[in-house]
Chain A
Amino acid sequence: MKDNLISIKSVTKSFTKGKTTITPLENLSLDVPRGEFLSLMGPSGSGKTTLLNLIAGIDTPTSGEILINGEDISQLSRAQLTKWRAVHVGYIFQLYHLVPILSAYENVELPLLLGKYSKAERKKKINAALELVGLSDRADHRPSELSGGQEQRVAIARAIVHDPDLLVADEPTGDLDRESADSILNLLNSLAKDHGKTVVMVTHDPKASAAAHRALQLEKGQFSSEGHLLNTSTQ
């Protein structure tokens, strides 16, 4: 039996606004083994972000179970989810979402301020994270002084600094040139392969998807096809 970090069981998510109800995800199930780098593709509006938000505890499903590390997070309250995210998830956004008034170092520090770390412990973790993303020399820079690729690296450092099991990324390379995109993808790949993180990435880019271990195609709230199970090594 595989060790699944994520186990989604018949999840349905619908939004109701006035008299119309949209159901972007219907009766969806998915298992993601620990340490897998999974890519989700699909047309716009197919529910990719919605699914990612459910996995990351940003949103709750209308019905169904979402087991992360054996814990059913679909039952948690908003406040409980907030606490849960602080420990278990790192979220990487398409547009980085760094806090503009804080330096790279301080941005990466944000998740640690929620835990019980001493200043020295924080420093060690932040420097390690910045080093992992190759930005040790940019610690004091503000986001406005960094390139897009560098900003995304800081965002990744921020997502991993508190050592969560799960990383979710919503089109992390969507706003980057090919070269920067490739290095971000290598980084995500290595986080899964070498550091045991489970990575779920949404992307529109087939090349990005090819960097993942497995690719799933989402269409009208259902998985239409399962892609390759390759690429466990980086080029």
Chain B
Amino acid sequence: MTQAPEQEAPPVPEGHVRLTIDGQTVDAPKGELLIRTCERLGIVVPRFCDHPLLDPAGACRQCLVEVEMGGRPMPKPQASCTMTVADGMVVKTQHTSPVADKAQQGVMELLLINHPLDCPICDKGGECPLQNQAMSSGRAESRFVEEKRHFAKPLPISDEVLLDRERCVLCQRCTRFSEQIAGDPFIELLERGAHQQIGTEETAWGEGEEFQSYFSGNTIQICPVGALTSASYRFRSRPFDLVSTPGQCEHCASGCSTRRDWRRGGVTRVLAGEDPNVNEEWLCDKGRFAFRYPTSPQRVLAPMVRGDDGELVAVSWIEALERAAELLLAARDGSGPGRVLVGDDGVEAEGDPKKGVGVLPGGRLTVEDAYAYGKFARLALRSNDVDHRARVHSDEELDFLAGHVAGVAPGHVSYAHLEAARTVLCVAFDPEEESPIVFLRLRKASRHGTRVVHVGSWTTPAVAKTGGHLVRVAPGDEPAALDDLPDDVATALGEPGAVVLVGERAAEVPGLLTAVAGLGSRTGARVAWVPRRAGERGGVDAGALPTLLPGARLLTDADAREAVAAVWGVPTLPESPGRDVTAMLRAAADGVLAGLVVGGLEPADLPDPALARAALAEADVVVSLEQVFSEVTGYADVVLPVAPAVNRGGTYRNWEGRDRTFATTIDPGQGSSGRVGGTAAITLPDCRVLDSLAVEMDVDLFTQTPAAAAAELAELGTVAVTPSTPRTRPDSEPAGRAPGTVRLATWRQLLDGGALLAQEPDLPGTARPARLRVAAATAERLGLVAGEPARLHAAEQPGRHAEPDPTLAGLDLVVELADLPEDVVWAPSHVPGASGVTTLAALGLHHGGPVRVTGSAAPESGDQQ
């Protein structure tokens, strides 16, 4: 491109400066780093420490360039990653300046002095910036003949991350990540001079604070050399063996983009995908490391039918579908055996036949699958008994979901809104435990001035790391607290852009969701619901709820029913509102409901696990669509295997309402590369299996593929929602407690033995230990000692929902002091242990409910830890 010299250069735009890089004139926004301007011009400057999401450090000096300011060259080459652009600057990179080139070669030589020559055994080999840049900006020969520095290696930083200090180039990306992004200073620069090294408290002094971070895996991905490697990927393969397929994380509603690298039918690692709108370049450790569950020996690899001997036997798809259809039809129409009634006199009589089938799809579904479950319930089973909420739930929540969540577009509240907001209020939501990438965004926002206020019972790590603003309330008192927020918070919520985030566990506190909706309409703050599981939001929008049809249509609205019926090609839809999860389970346990169709759901996740088990045992027909043999398949008459996320495509809808569409990662049908190794043989998604099952029942769902289901859902569209407060505001229960009890606050931790963590041995080691938290004064009164175990028992009065499981004596947890309100204890809802997961719900304990705590538990009486 030649420019006529006499032509007047266009004026420099507002807020920009004009400089010259390698002879090219460029306008750059003020404050831009030189290295970014070079990037925009397509000029590659080698670098190690520079990372666009971390603050500049200038630690590695690899990015040296020659700079001339105001006609005077700067005396030494400058680091382009820390220097900002200035007007009239003349920059020469290694491409045009022998000085810069020589400087870069010198730095490279210095970095390689102590770098071992172990590329052949290093996991980074083949994708290593140091390898690449040693080729592009280094000398071919080393002049260093002395002995290199040696360190013991590898050093476990955590169960998942290994450190090789010999390979480190001290760029401090990892330390800056842990300090700036995650906020867990787990890894630090230690020592000085030639001994300078990366380490943890433990590596420095042989002991130290227990390392804990839910984000440690990101350091592996950003380390520009092989100094930080993954324990699970260690030596498993080389980048050139791997097929990299973009994917979507199936673990939570944050909705991260991932990159799945796979080989021989199995995923070898998961990396963060780049999506500036959602996860930026980060991933939590659950999403990064929990990918091996599809290789579980527990996978269901063929359709199974329970034989006369009570054992499940593998059969053909046709046989299994026919059997399931036959059983479900009989159950739906009540033509099965009648219910046995035992009269007062002990005489058995046949009562009304059980009738109807309930559908429990579980919360891990894609939008398409959720849609298929809802349609299956309404057309094939002719009822609205479908509810995907495998967790605490309430009628109030249904109203809230209909009025504030269903059909709301991502433009309402998105990650960008969180970052831009001046104030964010988190209610019944611990972002780090329940939606880790939301946490990272809130932390980023709080570092840039957003005030993140948490309504909760203690200063959790998430509260501390997002600015420490806590409105402390006792569990159950949250609605009152929202009505009576501190003045400054209430005022701040009235400012434009303010956001209220409410977690799924708000359903557990009567009146809380109403209070949140009220707060939203009172202050004008935008309200967003952030559930935990990846399928929760999709289930709401796709109509897998007893009162909602697809596209945010209310079941009670006759026009809406008509519109859906028209698209579905049926005259009418069932009108009467369906039962929710608990009502379905109770009906089945009471012998009213004849059958259950169950998706990926564990009884332990439900508010009353004992009721769920009773229902599954009592129902005449249980059809289970599962990936693995589980508690539910133990009760099932027919088990239909479905594909895990890697072997299928679909769409998850994240908390924002953003569609996260993904294609099949590994298709075992496509050539040998997918078939060898691994156990993946099932590629049918739930929607396809339900479609085939419906055909056997003489109903067409037209959900053979996720694409077909998505197309139909798109055709249905979404109706406009008028935000409405839930119709009824249930009263909070009186806080009357039996003497000797305290109130329990509880929620789930990120890594607590969920089903998708199977087969990953190292991940539990990075989980936060389960602790009982209590204020010092309360501990003293109850006779609890910090660091000593204490035992949680069911209170004398049974909990709101459930009878305690009589086989569980209690749960022993180590006591830790925290800033809880008086007479309140906190414990995680799920406690993984050697013999499986113990849930507080199984003990009959619930958030806001009473609990008895006794100190120094006798160790011999039943080990529940």
Real binding pair: no
Binding site for A on B (CB under 8 A): none
